[in-house]
Amino acid sequence: MKLEKRQNKRDGFSTKFGAIAAAAGSAIGLGNIWRFPYIAEKGGGGAFVLIYACFIILIGVSCLLLEFIIGRKSQRDVIGSFYELAPRQPWFIGGWIAVITVVLIFAFYSVVFGWALDYLIKSVSNSFAGKSPVEIADMFGTTTSDVFKPIIYTIIGIGLTTFVVVGGIKKGIEKGAKILMPLLFLFLIILAVRSLMLPNSSLGLAFLFYPDFSKVTSETILLALGQAFFTLSLGSGAMITYGSYIRKKETLASIVIYTCILSFSVSILAGIVIFPAVFSFGIAPSQGPRLAFITLPNIFQQMFGGYIFSVVFFLLIAVAALTSTLSMLEVVVAALTGRKGTSRMKAAIWVSIAIVFLSVPCSLSYGIMSDFKIFGLNTFDLLDYITANFGLTISSMIFAVFVGWFMGSDNVKDELSNSGLLSVKYFSVFMFVVKFVVPVGIIIVFLNSMGFIG
């Protein structure tokens, strides 16, 4: 009876499309558009893409589905879910780890969001026109090392995120996702069509889609496995939180499949945008953050209509960043409103203020605080390292073990089948993957990140 009352009072996604758009928005971010091309090049191109797709199907779908199960079954935030489903037991530690991790991610991620906004303004004002490659490279160095401007843009990005989250689920996050996700795909398709029109674009497509298995190494497999785990916002608590907003009549499996397809599609479209362009101009794509903020502005200056496509590209980067930061802030806001009874507005504002203070040393990591290092890492890189290698890994393992070994197969099946209304012929396979395959995969990713294998 208590759970039924909570379901009736709790805000949530009003439509299936809204749930898919929000979940896909959380999963789709800079990792798909910025990181994927770099990792794909490092992994050998087409063979990496094929292996990555296999891992998404084998592991990514199951990981995303198990987090949705926890959220919708409990109708609570990522911490409250475990208090609801496993009272007086220590599983809630996984929720706390997820919340702390997502706060740290938000702190440095918002800095990159700020860089994207800065470059969007630069594109609109045509600041790249007439600049040499060296001058454009210097512009990125000036942007990241500046004291005040990156912080201002970071605050603007956090402010935009706060504005949407304060609106709630239906009128804020869902409404925003319904607008932003179609825009993101539209921008990607426009850029992809233009990239395909470049000379020798077929070389880029061949690299992306032709699987040369002679290039496959243990590193290729490990990179693909890692990308599959961390491309879907797994372990951050976002999918548990969003799962709690999904209506009981919706089919969780179909929402998960659509979300994974959309996330994978964005990565592929980003590859179609970038690989033909860099191959056309004879530039290596293995340049990490330099690719987005140095290499591509150079390419835009050399192509017909480059001004328009520069604006569209950095608008795309900003939109991708915003759809991800929405879920990050919502994880913490939901935890505060669920446990402390704080209003959504107060929680969002106070969390955002805290994020601003945390983001300042991250922003200054490439400027006046560049010499301040812990374990040889500046603040930005340290938070990135801690969250990717420990926070997300540990919380993902706890979530998987909880669903696979503790929650009970009857409870899991009840949620997947909508209380027996749906057939779940895949149930035995799903439970096997969650119990055995997912934990082994997480351990492999962790050991690889720590340098013990690979």
- Rounded CA separation 7/170 (Å): 15
Has residue 38 been placed in a domain?
yes
**Total domains present in the chain:** 1
Burial of 420 (0-12, 13-18, 19+ CB in 10 A): exposed
DSSP 184-251: HHHHHHHHHHHHHTSTTHHHHHHHHHS--GGG--HHHHHHHHHHHHHTTTTTSSHHHHHHTTS-TTS-
Q: Domain containing 406 — which CATH number?
A: 1.20.1740.10
Q: Is the dihedral of CA 60, 108, 320, 130 positive or negative?
A: negative
Range of the domain at 421: 2-449
3 state SS of 322: helix
In a domain, 168, yes or no: yes
pLDDT tens, position by position, 185-244 = 999 999 899 889 888 889 999 999 999 888 888 888 888 888 887 778 889 999 999 999
pTM, entire model: 0.93
Task: Please report the pLDDT score of residue 138 as a whole number.
Answer: 87
Question: Furthest-apart CA pair in the chain: how many Å?
Answer: 68
In a domain, 454, yes or no: no
Per-residue pLDDT of the chain (454 residues; tens, 9 = 90+): 444 444 446 789 999 999 999 999 998 887 788 778 878 888 888 999 999 999 999 899 999 999 999 999 999 999 999 999 999 999 999 999 999 999 999 999 999 999 999 999 999 999 988 888 788 888 888 889 999 999 999 999 999 999 999 999 999 999 999 999 999 999 999 989 988 988 888 999 999 999 988 888 888 888 888 888 777 888 999 999 999 999 999 999 999 999 999 999 999 998 998 888 888 877 766 555 567 787 788 788 877 888 998 999 899 899 999 999 999 999 999 999 987 778 999 999 999 999 999 999 999 999 899 999 998 999 999 999 899 889 999 999 999 999 999 999 999 999 999 999 999 999 999 999 999 999 999 999 888 887 787 6
User: Is residue 166 a part of any domain in this protein?
Assistant: yes
Quick: pLDDT tens for 314-361: 998 999 999 999 999 999 999 999 877 789 999 999 999 999 999 999
Q: What residues contact residue 260 under an 8 Å CB cut-off, 6+ apart?
A: 27, 56, 57, 60, 61, 64, 232
